[in-house]
Amino acid sequence: MRRFAKFTRPFMKQIERISEKDYSYHVSVIEYTLYAGKGRAAVKTTSEISKIVGVSKRTLQFYDDEGVIQAKRSENNYRLYDEGTLKDLWEIMLYKEMGLRLKEIKKILRVPEEEKKELLQKYIYKIEDKIQELKERKKFISFILTKGLPLMPEESTGISHKSRIAEIRKEVCKWKENPQQFVGGEKIPNRSYLAANIKELRYLLDEAYQQMQQGQFRYAVYDADIVMRESVKIILQCRNGYVSEDLLINIKSCERRGLLGSDKEFMRKLYEVYHICNSCYGNKYEEKYLNYSKVHFAIMQLADLLNYVEREMICP
């Protein structure tokens, strides 16, 4: 102990002569050095924080200048960041991802956890209001797309533009948007385009009929399968439904939503056509079970399906 005291007395006298400012600075440097040796510094520079967080130095400086974070200052006036500031930066990035403005983030960082939850809940309410507003705008745009651009009111009527737009808004509120207009954010083909598709499918079905007459049952079923797939796809697209690559899934989806009518016998025959097509597609062993009557049955039912699509989707 005496030997240890002999060496510590001069050092203690030096500490007594250090000012409070220098003491704080040296403690920070010592703390930084101790933790840096272990691979993690308790106080980090702007360059280090920039790499860790993934934002530019300018952004960090801006946050500090705006008072969103509070960086410490070294003796040379360099910014230093501790673990608390690093945690604040993590929260800031999360709040920015939520869409909060910097002013709102600054406020939410300074309140207790319970108040944070209340503020976030209020922000959810604002988002819901915004969603409703956007829905109304979307409906207004859809109305204009469907009805065309309304005529400008004439001066002789004494109706201002603002009053006329208010009347149009009332019309939009009463108007029921047609779900056939848009599918997945994109406009579906118009009636003339659908009619052209149906015409091509009828032509393909006629080819299947000719192949059947020549005894080429396998090729006839291939064409019939294409007609069936495309017909069901048109129905789902026109009724804003999900279109799968699997034909059976699409048929079941149509049945579940009642898109093929309520005739159970029609659905039963449609499933039978599916099994006839599926028994031959890619399977030579099953081809010998095909005959004229089965292929003829499939073609006749698909002709009825095309008639249904044309009647319900193109000429409702």
* Three-class secondary structure of residue 138 per DSSP: helix
What pLDDT shows up at residue 181? 47
What is the structure's pLDDT at 19?
Answer: 55
Q: What is the pLDDT along the chain (316 residues), one digit of tens a residue?
A: 444 444 445 544 454 555 555 545 454 544 544 444 444 456 788 888 888 888 888 888 888 888 888 888 887 788 888 888 888 889 888 988 888 888 888 888 888 888 888 888 888 888 888 888 888 888 888 888 777 777 788 777 788 888 888 888 888 888 776 544 444 444 455 677 778 888 888 888 898 888 888 888 888 888 888 889 888 888 887 776 677 778 888 888 888 888 888 888 888 888 888 888 877 655 554 556 778 888 899 889 999 888 888 887 765 5
- Helix/strand/coil (H/E/C) assignment for every residue in 74-97: CCCCCEEEEHHHHHHHHHHHHHHH
Say which CATH class 188-314 falls into: mainly alpha
Rounded Cα–Cα distance for residues 124 and 65 (Å): 29
Domain boundaries, given as residue ranges, for the chain: 15-110, 118-174, 188-314
Provide the pLDDT for residue 254.
85
**One CATH from 1.10.1660.10, 3.30.450.40, 3.40.50.720, 3.40.50.970 for 15-110:** 1.10.1660.10
Q: Tell me the C-alpha distance between 9 and 173, whole Å.
A: 87
Are the CB atoms for 204 and 223 separated by under 8 Å? yes
Q: Specify the pLDDT at position 99.
A: 87
pLDDT of residue 286: 54
Report the C-alpha gap between 106 and 65 in whole angstroms: 12
Q: How far apart are CA 101 and CA 134, in angstroms?
A: 20
Query: What pLDDT does 180 receive?
Result: 46
Identify the pLDDT of residue 241: 63
pLDDT of res. 138: 86
- In the three-class reduction of DSSP (H, G, I as helix; E, B as strand; rest coil), residue 195 is classed as helix
